[in-house]
Amino acid sequence: MMVVVVMVTGIVVITQVYFRRIIQEQEKLAKSKVEHQQELLWNSVLVQEKERERIAADLHDGLISKLTVLKYAIQTNNEKLKPAEMLQDSIKIARDITHDLSPPLLGELSFQELVESFVSPLSGAYTIENYYRHIGDYQHKNEIKLQLLRIVQEIVNNTLKHAKATKLEFLIRVTTTSTALIIRDNGVGFDVKLKANGLGLKNIELRSQLLNAKSRFKSKPNFGSTFQLYLKHDLIPTLK
C-alpha cells in the first residue's frame, strides 16, 4: 500500500512539474511575441518618420528651391533663367513625389503590371527576368497591391544599395486562392541573422504581417539573395 501511495505521489509531483514547465514556456513565448510586436511597431514609426524626412527633403531641395528661382525669374523678367523650362521641371518633381506617395494607375493595373512598371527602368543597368502567371480571375484590392508593391520596392532598393548585383529575377504567381512572390538576385548576399534587425527588413516583415503573409529571406555571403512571400487570400485582414 505504501508503495502505491509513493508512486501516486511521485506521478502527481512529476505531472505538476511538467505542467508548470509548459506554463512557463507558454508565458515566455507570449512575452517574446509581445516584445517582437512592440519592436515591429517601433520600427514602423521609425520607417514613417524616415519617409517624412525624405519627402520633406525632396520638397525643400527639389521643388521649393526650383519654385523660388522661378519666382525670381518672373519678378525680374529674366528670360535667361528659362522660366518655362523651370516650370516644367517643377511639375516633373511634383509628379515624381506624388507618384512615390501613391503609384499611378494603382486601381487600373494588376500587381504584376505594377511590379513590371517599377522595375522596367532598371533594365538598362541590370538583367531583369520576369515570370508572371495569373490563374483565375482573382484581382487584388488596391490596398493589398500597395502593400505588396512597397515590399517589392523595399527589397529592390536594398538590392541596388548593397547587393552589387547584375541580375534581378521576379516570379509572381496569382491564383484564386493565393499569391506567391519570389525575388532573386546574384549579388554578394548577406548573413540573414546579422541583418535581421535592420530597418529595411523589419519594414518588410511588418508589411508581411499586416497581410497575414508568410515571408522569409534566404541568403549567405557571396551566393546572392532570395526573398519568398506566400499570401493566402482568405487570410488577408481588412486593411484601413
> In a 3-state reduction of DSSP, which class is residue 82?
coil
pLDDT for 232 equals 96
pLDDT for 217 equals 92
172 pLDDT tier (thresholds 50, 70, 90): very high
Alpha-carbon span 71 to 220, nearest angstrom: 53
Looking at the predicted structure, is the pLDDT value of residue 89 above 60? yes
120-149 pLDDT, tens per residue? 999 989 999 999 999 999 999 998 998 999
5 pLDDT tier (thresholds 50, 70, 90): low
pLDDT for 138 equals 93
Strand order in the sheet with 178-185: 127-134, 167-174, 178-185, 225-232, 214-219
pLDDT for 220 equals 85
Looking at the predicted structure, is the pLDDT value of residue 192 above 70? yes
pLDDT for 206 equals 84
Enter the C-alpha cell of residue 65: 528651391
Q: What integer best gives the mean pLDDT of the chain? A: 80
183 pLDDT tier (thresholds 50, 70, 90): very high
Alpha-carbon span 168 to 149, nearest angstrom: 16
227 pLDDT tier (thresholds 50, 70, 90): very high
Q: In terms of C-beta distances under 8 Å and separation of at least 24 residues, what long-range contacts does 56-59 make, across chains too? A: 58/93, 58/96, 58/97, 59/97
pLDDT > 90: what percent of the chain?
Answer: 34
**Where is pLDDT greater, at 196 or 144?**
144
Looking at the predicted structure, is the pLDDT value of residue 186 above 60? yes
